[in-house]
């Protein structure tokens, strides 16, 4: 039996309970979690904005140590430190064959499987494949990325979602070049990782936008050169900060229609907007045909930072070892498993950066 945070049904509060986790089958690996980050997507899965089969153990941003391996597993061995990858790629579908592994059509096949049971025998699904809100989990071998040397295991959890997403938004999606100006909307875990990544890219000016003025200190520590408290005049405020032009790039980490529209309006003519935030179907963003022509801007979605975790995690490890990427600065609180509901409440209220469950 291991402790886990179970989502009994969409819309129900999480229950902290013991679950029965079987030994790993062929191609599977059992991992003892060191830490798991609480991501906004976990909240979206809880309230039904996004859906996976339930009852489930959520948590998709984690790192830990391999306990045991099933038959045929060759890439890791007991004792190895690993980062969990919630979107494993199959290597053979059309997007995978084009190198767009973040769009793998088979990435979430594992979510429908039954991977554990509650004490009374109820079947449990592994959330977004990796069920990291538990002391231990069993995952497919391709959900693991070996942790590079010299990276603290606890904070490495953040590599699994927030950091890959924020780094990828800047480097793969928006392709920020040195000297460009960047606005980042939302200063939660992903937003803070995006700010740090803009700093790594050599952005000349990095403007953080958040509804909460309390985020300013966290945002500046992550590399923001300016901070704007979100209001009806945000686009105008950003224009003023950039000599009347608007930024070269905007990254939206909120997932709301008004923020996406404001991000787009905050860029210069020809500017690029990357949408990282995951919103609901009710969030309609509108543009008129003339302004699309006049401004010549681009607007693009972004999945998991358009990242390839197998190659990006080693790159991120270099940035960490050489002091350019500070994982600790992304963590706003360290909590126990039973602190997840309170961390969800904080996300709803827009407070803090990343809450990290430390086991």
Binding residues (CB under 5 A) for Zn ion: these are: 39, 41, 89-90, 93, 96, 104, 106, 161
Shortest reach from residue 103's CB to Zn ion, in Å:
8
At residue 185, the 3 state secondary structure works out as strand
Nearer CB in complex with Zn ion: 96/201: 96
**232 token code pair:** 């009806």
Nearer CB in complex with Zn ion: 40/272: 40
Shortest reach from residue 91's CB to Zn ion, in Å:
6
**14 token code pair:** 């999480």
Nearer CB in complex with Zn ion: 6/161: 161
Nearer CB in complex with Zn ion: 93/200: 93
CA distance 194 to 177: 14
Shortest reach from residue 229's CB to Zn ion, in Å:
25
Shortest reach from residue 99's CB to Zn ion, in Å:
11
Nearer CB in complex with Zn ion: 247/307: 307
- Helix axes 234-241 and 257-265, enclosed angle (nearest 10): 30
**140 token code pair:** 């497919």
Phi and psi at residue 191, in whole multiples of 5°? Answer: -60, -45
Shortest reach from residue 90's CB to Zn ion, in Å:
4
Nearer CB in complex with Zn ion: 37/246: 37
CA distance 36 to 51: 20
Which residues neighbour 210 within 8 Å (Cβ) at sequence distance 6 or greater?
185, 186, 187, 191, 216, 219, 227, 229, 230, 350
Shortest reach from residue 100's CB to Zn ion, in Å:
9
Nearer CB in complex with Zn ion: 39/207: 39
Nearer CB in complex with Zn ion: 35/241: 35
Q: Are strands 247-252 and 181-185 parallel, antiparallel or unpaired?
A: parallel
Nearest to 341 by CA among 3, 16, 8: 16
Shortest reach from residue 306's CB to Zn ion, in Å:
14
Where do runs of H (alpha helix) occur along the chain?
40-47, 94-97, 153-156, 162-168, 189-200, 216-221, 234-241, 257-265, 289-295, 309-321, 340-348
Shortest reach from residue 284's CB to Zn ion, in Å:
24
Nearest to 166 by CA among 304, 309, 297, 312: 304
The CA-atom distances, in angstroms, between 345 and each of 13, 38, 127 are 11, 11, 20
Nearer CB in complex with Zn ion: 89/262: 89
Rg over alpha carbons for the chain, rounded to the nearest Å, is 20
Shortest reach from residue 240's CB to Zn ion, in Å:
33
Q: Do residues 248 and 238 make contact, with C-beta atoms less than 8 angstroms apart?
A: no
CA distance 298 to 83: 33
């Amino acid at each position: 039996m291991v402790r886990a945070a179970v989502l009994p049904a969409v819309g129900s509060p999480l229950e902290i309970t013991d679950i029965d986790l079987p030994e790993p089958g062929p191609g599977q690996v059992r991992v003892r979690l060191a830490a798991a980050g609480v991501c906004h997507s976990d909240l979206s899965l809880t309230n039904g904005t996004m859906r996976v089969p339930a009852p489930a153990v959520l948590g998709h941003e984690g790192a830990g140590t391999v306990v045991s391996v099933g038959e045929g597993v060759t890439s890791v061995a007991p004792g190895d430190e690993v980062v969990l990858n919630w979107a494993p790629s199959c290597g053979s579908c059309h997007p995978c064959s084009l190198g767009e592994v973040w769009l793998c059509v088979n990435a979430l096949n594992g979510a429908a499987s039954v991977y554990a049971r509650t004490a009374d025998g109820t079947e449990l699904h592994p959330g977004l494949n990796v069920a990291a809100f538990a002391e231990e989990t069993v995952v497919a071998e391709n959900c693991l990325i070996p942790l590079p040397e010299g990276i603290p295991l606890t904070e490495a959890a953040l590599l699994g979602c927030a950091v890959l997403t924020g780094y990828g938004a800047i480097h793969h999606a928006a392709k920020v070049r040195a000297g460009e100006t960047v606005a980042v909307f939302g200063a939660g875990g992903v937003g803070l990782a995006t700010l740090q990544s803009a700093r790594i890219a050599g952005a000349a000016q990095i403007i953080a936008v958040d509804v909460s003025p309390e985020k300013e200190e966290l945002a500046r520590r992550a590399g923001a050169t300016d901070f704007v408290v979100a209001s009806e005049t945000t686009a105008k405020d950003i224009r003023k900060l950039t000599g009347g032009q608007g930024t070269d790039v905007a990254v939206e980490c909120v997932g709301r229609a008004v923020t996406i529209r404001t991000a787009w309006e905050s860029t210069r003519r020809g500017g690029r907007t990357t949408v990282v935030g995951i919103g609901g179907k009710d969030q309609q963003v509108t543009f008129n045909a003339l302004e699309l022509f006049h401004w010549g801007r681009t607007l693009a979605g972004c999945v998991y930072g358009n990242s390839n975790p197998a190659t990006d995690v080693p790159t991120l490890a270099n940035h960490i070892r050489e002091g350019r990427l500070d994982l600790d600065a992304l963590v706003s609180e360290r909590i126990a498993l039973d602190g997840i509901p309170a961390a969800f409440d904080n996300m709803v209220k827009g407070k803090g950066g990343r809450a990290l469950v430390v086991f």
